[in-house]
Structure 1
């Protein structure tokens, strides 16, 4: 409990410093002429499948460079010099099913023979949706009520990262790695509640008052879900990746996990009888939405909190994402920059002058896909080779180091890209 309190206090201080910093830099933002505003267009959504509308990004005609040697991630972004590889950065054909989905309306109950907890809900569709938190209940662990909480946080623009139904134990909260507690703190800040980072009755009631939609729904697997495209595997060596047509998803559960913002292992645990191989098969998924506010005026990349905070033109925090932002050995930049370009499905340029991966001593261009080293979205900054981007490993967000850039889950990066435009200020804080 002491460790949890300390984390909440540190997050509160971090958010306070963000607000103070926002006030000092908000006047630095220049008005962007209308003809220079190039946002990513909204996705066209349907109940069981989401298809991307044609996007018109600002194109950065330099390849994105990866300089990571992270053992867990095996891929990251650049924080180094101008790349020498000049590769195309846009692929108009999505390499895999997109990660966004509309909020489905089906509420049919489905019994799932998994572990139950009487006071915190059961692992069935109705059990999760009807779970209710109250004072005196557990403050950590994996329970249906926490899965519901994570969906509510996601829907109110305080991203908890991959939804897995769990809040970590106190001894695992050091270093800003508990994404759900950080999301609670951000939600409390955005809604003028006491910032504790702890789920309390006021926070729970506030979250539930904002939506009547079920937190989890039944989803029917489609032929398109099974069709892919999918890759048999993703080799670790960049030279082998460069030979591939696309760095696609490798399995249906990986794609569905990202589509519904869920931890892949949790998705499979929640649906123990599903084969994920049959069109028409019904599964339980998180009922997530992707509709950030449009008035994004300032982005704060807070290294200590491992969070990305969004502010509007009234200096109010309107959204937050867990993020991996640099490391001690390869820190992110300091100071203030602007968004320069937005590139969905980017090619990735590898240059051995920046770092050597897999013994490769020649530049390489890696094809687009959600398993690309920078995921399926690149938001370039005015500092060359630095940006905000996705990741092939969503479960590691804020829990490992990066090599300078701001790494988000693919879905959070895609969500952000639909709402930002060139010229928006991005400020790094310690």
Structure 2
């Protein structure tokens, strides 16, 4: 919590204020252009990346994804985890299980699977990586499945159940996670 006036000599008590939600961009600042300004929307502050207490039995360096709470935890030593807000699969597309990170890509291309194209024939057949790509700045592939942990060009969807089963993250958060984990990292989706 911030206080607008913390001067002890002002004669008035500090008045607590709530910080305004940050506006998030689909593109990273270095890649953002005028077209990206319209994409900026606020994100609920509870989905901001932060270090939290964690009491699961998973090993440090592993990932736990809580689809109900819409958080991804990167387990750290000492009963802590880095918690990231995520978007998850909409009803009918949620899944649970254990996978490993099988590959990592920066600014990945996107080719929608045939099942997705049947549901959404308006989608492109292929899209080059970049700020407009739905996979965002980074993607980490989960085993041999079509599921990924990836960035997004729709930051307002963090905290919601809207995907086709992939785990969405803010671009700055997916870059942070990408830099912290190697291929072979264990991922438990609960």
Same fold (TM > 0.5)? yes
Residue 19 (structure 2) pairs with residue 146 (structure 1) = yes
Picking from 48, 73, 81, the partner of 1:318 is 81
Q: Is the Cα contact below 8 Å between 2:102 and 2:183 reproduced in 1?
A: yes
Picking from 163, 167, 176, the partner of 2:22 is 163
1:373-411, Cα deviation, whole Å (9 max, x unpaired): 111210111142111001101122013422111111111
* Greater strand fraction, Structure 1 or Structure 2: 2
Q: Is the Cα contact below 8 Å between 1:296 and 1:419 reproduced in 2?
A: no
Q: Is the Cα contact below 8 Å between 1:296 and 1:420 reproduced in 2?
A: no
Residue 132 (structure 2) pairs with residue 347 (structure 1) = no
1:172-211, Cα deviation, whole Å (9 max, x unpaired): xxxxxxxxxxxxxxxxxxxxxxxxxxxxxxxxxxxxxxxx
Matched with 2:127 is 366
Give the TM-score normalised by the residue count of structure 1: 0.33
Q: Is the Cα contact below 8 Å between 2:107 and 2:135 reproduced in 1?
A: no
Residue 154 (structure 2) pairs with residue 393 (structure 1) = yes
How far, CA to CA, are the matches of 2:86 and 2:41 in structure 1? 21
Q: Is the Cα contact below 8 Å between 2:101 and 2:140 reproduced in 1?
A: yes
Picking from 63, 66, 70, the partner of 1:299 is 63
Q: Helix, strand or coil: the match of 1:342? A: strand
Q: Is the Cα contact below 8 Å between 1:301 and 1:325 reproduced in 2?
A: no
Give aligned pairs, total: 162
1:37-65, Cα deviation, whole Å (9 max, x unpaired): xxxxxxxxxxxxxxxxxxxxxxxxxxxxx
How far, CA to CA, are the matches of 1:397 and 1:328 in structure 2? 16
Matched with 2:165 is 404
**What pairs up with 1:258-297 in 2 under 5 angstroms?**
264=40, 297=61
* Greater helix fraction, Structure 1 or Structure 2: 1
Q: Helix, strand or coil: the match of 1:250? A: helix
How far, CA to CA, are the matches of 2:61 and 2:163 in structure 1? 25
**What pairs up with 1:45-56 in 2 under 5 angstroms?**
none
Matched with 1:335 is 97
**Higher gyration radius (CA):** 1
How far, CA to CA, are the matches of 1:345 and 1:426 in structure 2? 21
Distance 1:387 1:296, change over 3 A: farther
